[in-house]
Structures are given as C-alpha cells and as structure tokens.
Structure 1
C-alpha cells in the first residue's frame, strides 16, 4: 500500500473555505462566552460557542446538541459530533484543534495504528467541518438564539 502524502494545497483550500463559512455563521457574535444555535429540524440542532477571543484569533466549539426526543441509550452511548476550532483572522484559515475528543490531529498517520486513525485523518476532519458548516448555512435557522454567559 502506498504511503499517504498530504496535499498542502487541498488542506489549505478546506481551511480557507471553512474560515469563510464560519465567519458568516458567526457574523455579529464576537465576544467570548457567546453562543449561537442552529436548528436544522426538530431533531437536529447545533451550537457554536466562542470560548476565547484574542486580537487575531478566536477559539470556537462546534457541537451537535442532544435532542430531548432521543432514547436514553442514544443520549448516553452515542457521542455527538464535537469540534474545537481556532480561527486565524490574519491568515483567514481555521485549524481543528480537537475533534471527537482527539487533540492535535496530525496531517498523516501510519496505518494501522493503536488509535485506528485513518492516514488522512486531518483532511477528513476538515472535510467534515466544511460539510457541517454548509449544512448550517443552507438549512439552519441561524441567529435564533444568541446568549451571553457572564
């Protein structure tokens, strides 16, 4: 099997397009501890939370919310998608800091490995983020709830 080689151009394209979509979703929400929820349907909702705000970066948590109508087993045993994302305003790109409780995602993994990460885990994580953001932009009832925790 040929060794996976990350294509920097593809990774940067995904990071740039995700940055643009994420800044569109976060328009008007620019302070730490603010939260924005997107409701796709009665059973599917997402939350963006600004964890940290600095001069040139933002740290954002993007997570799927648990639905009240789900079974108890689903709530307890099925992990909902969750990511911690850093936005770099000067470079206009994003970096996924944490995904599904996996920190520091490498651009390439040897396969097989103990954690069973795919060779192109970083590319797949960025692709998933881009698709998630597109869903919220196209179908989400955005800006429905903006809350500030003081």
Structure 2
C-alpha cells in the first residue's frame, strides 16, 4: 500500500513537544518579568533585530508578539519583510503556541494541499518549529534591552 497520496496526519506529540520547548525559551527571553506593555529588543547584528512585546497577561495565559525589525541605512524594511508571530503562553500546561503568523489567524493543524493560500499540509507544526529556531537565535546571539510602553 502506497502512502504517497495519503493525507497528512498531524502528530500531536511532536507539536506538544515543540510548544513545551517554545514555552521554556520564551520564559528565558522574558526573564520571568512579563509585564503587559513591556518590550524587549534582541539585537543580532547591525541590520537585524527582534522585538518581543507582552500584549496581555492573565492568570493562566499570556499573549506576546515577536517580530523582526530590519533597517538598512535608516530605512525600515519591516514594511517589506514582515516576519511577525503572536504567541499564546499557557502557564498551567507550560506550553506556548503560535496563534497568528504573518497576520494569518487560527492556523489549522492540517491543510489539504494544494490550497488557495498555498499553506503546507503541516503548516502549524512548521510555524511552531520556526518559532523555536527564532527564539534560540535570540538567546544565542541577541543582546537585549527592555523598554516599557
């Protein structure tokens, strides 16, 4: 029996592991001081930095936004390069999940392929894995400073 045409089936255990790692990494970046309105900037190079903003803090969840900030010769390239994710941290489950990516909300666990927006079948898993890599880069190479809104 060939599995070439079999529909993609999300592996919940893989996604949960990725979300647990993201939670840990985000807590390290936030340094345990998440206050609503707080922003942290992680400078990777002269041309590349990331901004992590705490949008909402409740008893069981927090909502943060991470976005790339790129400037060359004083020109803000964020208009053209818009890597931006909104992440919900679930403190009771100790997990962090991407809830919006590039302003696409409610990312499905599985997409039929091809589809109108050309989402990959495992889009949700890949987006959360990308967040892991983004957070690791910020922790390894980023120098940060905190700004309160």
Is this a same-fold pair by TM over 0.5? yes
Give SS of 2:71's match. coil
Q: Which blocks of at least 5 consecutive residues in structure 2 are unaligned?
A: none
Q: Which residue of 2 aligns with 1:147?
A: 147
Question: Segments of 4+ in structure 1 off by > 6 A?
Answer: none
Show the counterpart of 2:11.
Answer: 7
- How far is the alpha carbon of 1:148 from its aligned partner? 1.3
Aligned equivalents of 2:27 and 2:89: distance in 1? 9
TM-score scaled by length of structure 2: 0.92
Mapped contact 1:6–1:120 kept (Cα < 8 A) = yes
Q: 1:14-43: CA deviations, max 9, x gaps?
A: 000010000000014311000000000101
Q: CA deviation at 1:79?
A: 2.7
What is the alpha-carbon root mean square deviation over aligned residues? 1.5
Match of 2:138 in 1: 136
Is structure 2 residue 67 aligned with structure 1 residue 60? no
In the alignment, structure 1 segments of 5+ residues that lack a partner are none
Residue aligned with 1:67, SS: strand
* Cα separation, 1, equivalents of 2:17 and 2:136: 15
What TM-score do you get using the length of structure 1 for normalisation?
0.91
Q: 1:111 to 1:129 in 2, by over 3 A?
A: same
Q: 1:44-83 counterparts in 2 under 5 A?
A: 44-69=48-73, 74=77, 76=79, 78-83=80-85
User: 1:71 deviation in Å?
Assistant: 5.8
Contact 1:66-1:80 within 8 A present in 2 as well? no
Q: 1:19 aligns with which of 19, 23, 28?
A: 23
